[in-house]
Chains A and B, each alone.
Chain A
Amino acid sequence: MKKKLVFLVLTLVMVSALILTACQPAPEPAAEVEEPAPVEEPEEFVFGILMVGPYNDRGWSQAHYEAGEYVVENVPGTRMIYLDVVNTADRPGTTAAQLAEELVQQGAKLVIFNSDDMKDDAVEFTRNNPDIFVIHASGDTQWAEGENYIPLENMVNVMGEMEYGKFIAGCDAALHTQTGSIGYLGPLINEETRRLTAAAYLGAEYCWENYLGNDPNDLSFRVTWIGFWFNIPGFTEDPSQVAQEFINTGVDVIISGIDTTEALVEARKATSEGTPVFAIPYDYEGACDEAPEVCLGVPWYNWGPAYVRHITAAMQGTWESVFEWLPPDWNDINNRDTTAIGYLSGPGMSPAAQDWLQQFIGELAGGLNLWTGPLNLQDGTPWLAEGEVATDVEVWYLPQLLEGMEGRSE
């Protein structure tokens, strides 16, 4: 009985904890301040970014974070708020739509969803918040020709034509492999990752055959998917282990399709132990810094200019719902103010390869299209006939990997 009383008291104390937290902040005046804040500074335009990974991941999310900083620098009167690691494994019990609403509570008038994985939430949020502008990076719901078209006036889709970056990455890998074995460290499997992986393969095959004069049958291109954009212990395959597995089975160039830099770290480790291995990270212009000596180069996204355009349009009342798949600026694919994607050479790149690669980039700029038949899907089904060029829709929704690639297609 006495024990029971003690615990009655204990729980009473817990309730007092509620009251304590209530008293601590003196919430009344704070709540009042929160409401009129936007009125005091009518000029300020707050935009929010939801990032699937950490804002400093040296990858996909950091590229978005820095694009946000670029907007603040270039569009007067803007302020950025953000929330990172927005995924159900890292923020259990939440949804991206719910977290976007939290950004709106903090004053955001425009919200950027930065992952294809947030598609359902982005649409739900956009429908429920017709007054808030939404940019869904890498999404396709605003593409009238696309397979997932859901017209929403307040939503824009933006994506860089990273297929070019991956062509170049593949070429770079082929120019450096001594074993003829390239490993692709894949994230999850969807249309986006299939076409990007296939692009890397096409670039590798092109340079292997046309520049080095090798037999395409001697090139091995293996894909292993970890299950998500980055390592979530307990849920995904460990990318470090996948990279090690590649190295142990003869791969000497690893192309990364994930948002983080494990491939570089493992390449450096192997190289320092006497097995030369190179890696090509992904997403972020500064990614090579992790292990410059083994980094061949990085295909990177430059979201800044597109975000500046759409945020300015939202501020000026000229917003239009569009789907954009933006090519590189071929005059200078690494110009931060004009290009949507780029390719930065890494310190690991050999001078000979550098020349080949420049030639390849020149050919791409001149109109070389590697999405040209004859190309078969992985299971041998003909995809493009001799001379047939794939349409944007066919490339975007590539149903399988291509013939000659090893690894799961779905």
Chain B
Amino acid sequence: MKQARTRSLSILFQLGGLILAFGFVTLILLSIDANPAEAFRLIWQGAVGNSTRIASVFVVWVPLVLVTCGVLVTFTAGLWNIGIEGQITLGAIFTTGVIRLFLDTPVHPVLVIVLSILAGMVGAAIWAVLAGLLKVFGGVNEIFGGLGLNFIATALNIGLIFGAWSRPGVASMSGTEPFPEAYWLPTFQNFRFSWYSIALTVVGLVVIYFLLQGTHFGLRLKAVGKGIKSAFRLGIPTWQHMLLSFLICGLFAGLAGALQVVAVYHRLIPAISSGYGFMGLMIGMLINYQAIWVAPIALFFAALNIGGIQLPIVMKLDSTLTGVLQGSLVLFILLMQGVKQRVLGNK
């Protein structure tokens, strides 16, 4: 009985958060004389209005899911991997580097693509472990270390695009020379998404789900996340687990970055991480580290991203409004969670 009551109360609180978030965005829209119902309709239509748009949603869904899978591992170990953006960037850089290396060689493009994706994963993992080493051995909080490494990754990326890897005779923020089509991950018909990306993402999801829910490693990681001292006393090698969580997160971020290069942009661009890292962190917080919810919530966020494009075209509104909606959803639902704990007691 008591459990049922708690559950229904929880629903009420979460629903309250949801209503507050939508209410907040509605207020913003009303304050600028925009019709909220029309705006929400446009976002919906913009995301699912036709097959091209749905395909575009999945283009965004892929990196969002991969990145969120990654941050779930570090979250579980009690770590805030803010450096995820830089890790995606490093993944993209390594991938681009390997493709460039093999461009004019007889090595088969398929092999090059595979190698480049693996290189991207390794590159990002190294970058992630660096943040971990700074934390474990340097005493640098992973938030600050990650932020610093993000800046370095961006600088490195821009340096390469504007310098060493610039197009012949060109130095532009539009990115490096696009690769020949043989080095693109094949897309489905004329749509922008690739089944290979989707397949890799689904594999990633399954791996993370079982890793966190069904293995001893996942359990030990949780123990480290809940309390590092108690975990240590229980005989868990804590710093090794922390580093390993960074490494796994890096592999996922690297895969996301690699796919941005081989499946979406076919070149390296300055904003290759596209803010997906931070969005992944938001989704992680929203679903409270439950791997089972990564796919649907990432889909929801991706749909908002793609649907939001309609706002400036049709209503002359800034499409970052969907970002405001995403942010306020996280904020209000976490807020209501806090309120609920106060009201019901922290049990």
Chain A interface (Cβ < 8 Å from any Cβ of B): 2, 4-18, 20-22, 24-27, 30-31, 34, 81-84, 87-89, 91-95, 98-99, 101-103, 105-106, 117, 120, 128, 188-191, 194, 225, 227-228, 232, 234-236, 399, 408, 410
What are 27 A-B residue pairs whose CB atoms fall within 8 Å in the complex?
A: A7-B288, A10-B333, A11-B290, A11-B292, A13-B18, A14-B286, A14-B293, A14-B297, A16-B15, A16-B18, A18-B300, A27-B41, A27-B44, A31-B49, A83-B309, A83-B312, A87-B174, A92-B276, A93-B276, A95-B264, A98-B56, A101-B52, A102-B46, A120-B178, A190-B167, A235-B154, A235-B271
Q: Inter-chain contact count A-B, CB under 8 Å?
A: 184
Q: Is the CB of A9 within 8 A of B11?
A: yes
Q: Which residues of B contact A92 (CB under 8 A)?
A: 271, 274-276
Q: Is the CB of A228 within 8 A of B173?
A: yes
- Judged by a CB distance under 8 angstroms, whether B7 is at the interface is yes
Q: Is the CB of A410 within 8 A of B172?
A: no
Give min CB distance, B167 to chain A, whole Å: 8
CA distance A27 to B53 in the complex (A): 15
CA distance A101 to B293 in the complex (A): 31
Q: Is the CB of A228 within 8 A of B172?
A: yes
CA distance A323 to B41 in the complex (A): 41
Q: Which residues of A contact B314 (CB under 8 A)?
A: 106
Give min CB distance, B67 to chain A, whole Å: 12
- Judged by a CB distance under 8 angstroms, whether B43 is at the interface is yes
Nearest A residue to B63, CB-CB: A93
- Judged by a CB distance under 8 angstroms, whether B245 is at the interface is no
CA distance A225 to B162 in the complex (A): 11
Since A24-B37, A235-B271, A410-B170 are in contact, a sample of 9 more A-B pairs with Cβ atoms closer than 8 Å, ordered by chain A residue number, is A2-B347, A5-B3, A13-B333, A16-B18, A25-B38, A92-B275, A105-B53, A189-B170, A236-B173
CA distance A358 to B44 in the complex (A): 57
Given A14-B300, A24-B40, A103-B313, A93 and B170 contact (CB-CB distance below 8 Å): no
Q: Which residues of B contact A20 (CB under 8 A)?
A: 18, 22
Nearest A residue to B162, CB-CB: A227
Q: Which residues of A contact B297 (CB under 8 A)?
A: 11, 14
- Judged by a CB distance under 8 angstroms, whether B329 is at the interface is yes
Give min CB distance, B149 to chain A, whole Å: 15
Given A9-B7, A10-B333, A14-B296, A21 and B172 contact (CB-CB distance below 8 Å): no
Q: Is the CB of B300 within 8 A of A227?
A: no
From B170, B288, B300, give the contact of A188 (CB < 8 A).
B170
Q: Is the CB of B11 within 8 A of A13?
A: yes
Q: Is the CB of A89 within 8 A of B7?
A: no
CA distance A4 to B287 in the complex (A): 10
Q: Which residues of B contact A24 (CB under 8 A)?
A: 37, 40-41, 44
Q: Is the CB of B11 within 8 A of A17?
A: no
Q: Is the CB of B313 within 8 A of A410?
A: no
Given A88-B270, A102-B313, A410 and B10 contact (CB-CB distance below 8 Å): no
Q: Which residues of A contact B275 (CB under 8 A)?
A: 92-93
Given A190-B169, A227-B173, A83 and B49 contact (CB-CB distance below 8 Å): no
Give min CB distance, A298 to chain B, whole Å: 24
CA distance A102 to B167 in the complex (A): 29
CA distance A389 to B182 in the complex (A): 42
Q: Which residues of B contact A128 (CB under 8 A)?
A: 190
Q: Which residues of A contact B276 (CB under 8 A)?
A: 92-93
Given A20-B18, A98-B192, A188-B174, A11 and B41 contact (CB-CB distance below 8 Å): no
From A31, A34, A81, A408, give the contact of B171 (CB < 8 A).
A408
From B18, B169, B300, give the contact of A410 (CB < 8 A).
B169
Q: Which residues of B contact A12 (CB under 8 A)?
A: 11
Q: Which residues of B contact A236 (CB under 8 A)?
A: 173
Nearest A residue to B336, CB-CB: A10
Given A88-B271, A94-B309, A15 and B296 contact (CB-CB distance below 8 Å): yes
Q: Which residues of A contact B312 (CB under 8 A)?
A: 83-84
From A15, A21, A188, give the contact of B173 (CB < 8 A).
A188
Q: Is the CB of B313 within 8 A of A399?
A: no
Nearest B residue to A18, CB-CB: B300
Q: Is the CB of B313 within 8 A of A11?
A: no
Q: Is the CB of A21 within 8 A of B43?
A: yes
Contact residues of B between 324 and 342, Cβ < 8 Å to A:
329, 333, 337, 340
User: Per-residue CB proximity of B277-305 to A under 8 Å, as 1/0?
Assistant: 00000000011101011001100100101
Q: Is the CB of B173 within 8 A of A232?
A: yes
- Judged by a CB distance under 8 angstroms, whether B319 is at the interface is yes
Q: Which residues of A contact B154 (CB under 8 A)?
A: 234-235
Closest A-B pairs by Cβ, 6 of them = A25-B41, A92-B274, A188-B172, A189-B171, A13-B14, A228-B173
Q: Which residues of B contact A117 (CB under 8 A)?
A: 172, 174
From A10, A99, A190, give the contact of B172 (CB < 8 A).
A190
Q: Which residues of A contact B173 (CB under 8 A)?
A: 87, 89, 188, 227-228, 232, 235-236
Nearest B residue to A26, CB-CB: B41
CA distance A18 to B43 in the complex (A): 11
Nearest A residue to B55, CB-CB: A98
Q: Which residues of A contact B171 (CB under 8 A)?
A: 188-190, 225, 227, 408, 410
Give min CB distance, A194 to chain B, whole Å: 8
Q: Is the CB of B274 within 8 A of A93?
A: yes
Nearest B residue to A398, CB-CB: B169
Nearest A residue to B169, CB-CB: A410
Q: Is the CB of B169 within 8 A of A10?
A: no
Between A14, A30, A191, the greatest number of chain B beta carbons within 10 A of the residue's beta carbon is seen for: A14
From B17, B18, B313, B337, give the contact of A83 (CB < 8 A).
B313
Give min CB distance, B285 to chain A, whole Å: 11
- Judged by a CB distance under 8 angstroms, whether B116 is at the interface is no
Give min CB distance, A93 to chain B, whole Å: 4
Nearest A residue to B309, CB-CB: A102
CA distance A4 to B269 in the complex (A): 40
Q: Is the CB of B287 within 8 A of A7?
A: yes
